[in-house]
Structure 1
């Protein structure tokens, strides 16, 4: 399968058309951005690590009955996947308070939440990805029906129920993560984009060390080593 035309370039990936209108190729970039693009950098090898991590996690979720867009990893930086109509809602799943949740609501950083919190953000860089409630999403036409919002929440919780214990067994706390969904050619809502340390927060169970993009956000350094650490844990039986 070959890239034929650049369809879209985002902060972390380029999306390419192929000879098959139902299949696209994601090219994972080494670029790093934070704070809605205000902080930018690059880390050689980061894109390949995210592709490999996402590949393993999509395979896991597919095996557990969660439909995703994943078809196959083509090489270190390229993933073949189904073409989908993107739902412009970022679904945020939180198990532990940190980041914007602690900042905006004053919840103690590191506090384990009494239940899994699922939030919606509007996928719109120009507006800074603001928070959405169900009525906002319906007014903006991001989905057609309330049932679709309910499904996004339900599937996000199912994914969390799979990934949270999976990572804990590998010595990682799944603090929070962002999911994106789309509709395939048959109108089915499926998981798309990626699942990687770019859009997940991982803390080491023993040390509490951050092994995700917070290392870049907070200027800690060691980002590539952290991402390699996550991949090694995933690949270890």
Structure 2
């Protein structure tokens, strides 16, 4: 897929995506539930901004055991900061902490570094970025991403209030869409999906995550990945 096709598809999508569309609540089904954990509540002496580690997500299509476990997760039960960081990371990935999962290990290390104030400066990034970190099996999540971004379904995310992530179990993947602020422009969701799907296919990837970096007008970032929270 070449970018001129992506742009044409984007133009068609936006023509059918009215700025006046309403944003209903997530679907009321027996499998859905919200997990909301504010990272700063568990690291009161943090020297850095922990907002990117917040878990504020609507989860659906998870089995009963996973659902019960996620609902009961409480980082305050951790005896140390590392324990708390692992519990918060488990909530973001909807799975037990795995020492062999490099993404989970790096997220815990990054969170603890932010708490201690030992963080590096951010660097400039492209508008849309595909990564191997926090990757999902792309084909597993295609219908979820396309629907929840408003590209193919009537469903619209409510971007002006919680939760700021929507996740669903699809095949072998924990598919998540998350966004950084409540003020993000909703048209940026189908934009991100269109460009990200095109980039993943151009790069012939079978697994990936992708992030759309918002401009001044969009006022926020959107992440398509395997976790409830930022791509980074």
Give the TM-score of the pair, scaled to structure 1. Answer: 0.28
Identify, as 1 or 2, the structure richer in helix: 2
Greater RCO, CA 8 A, separation 6+: 2
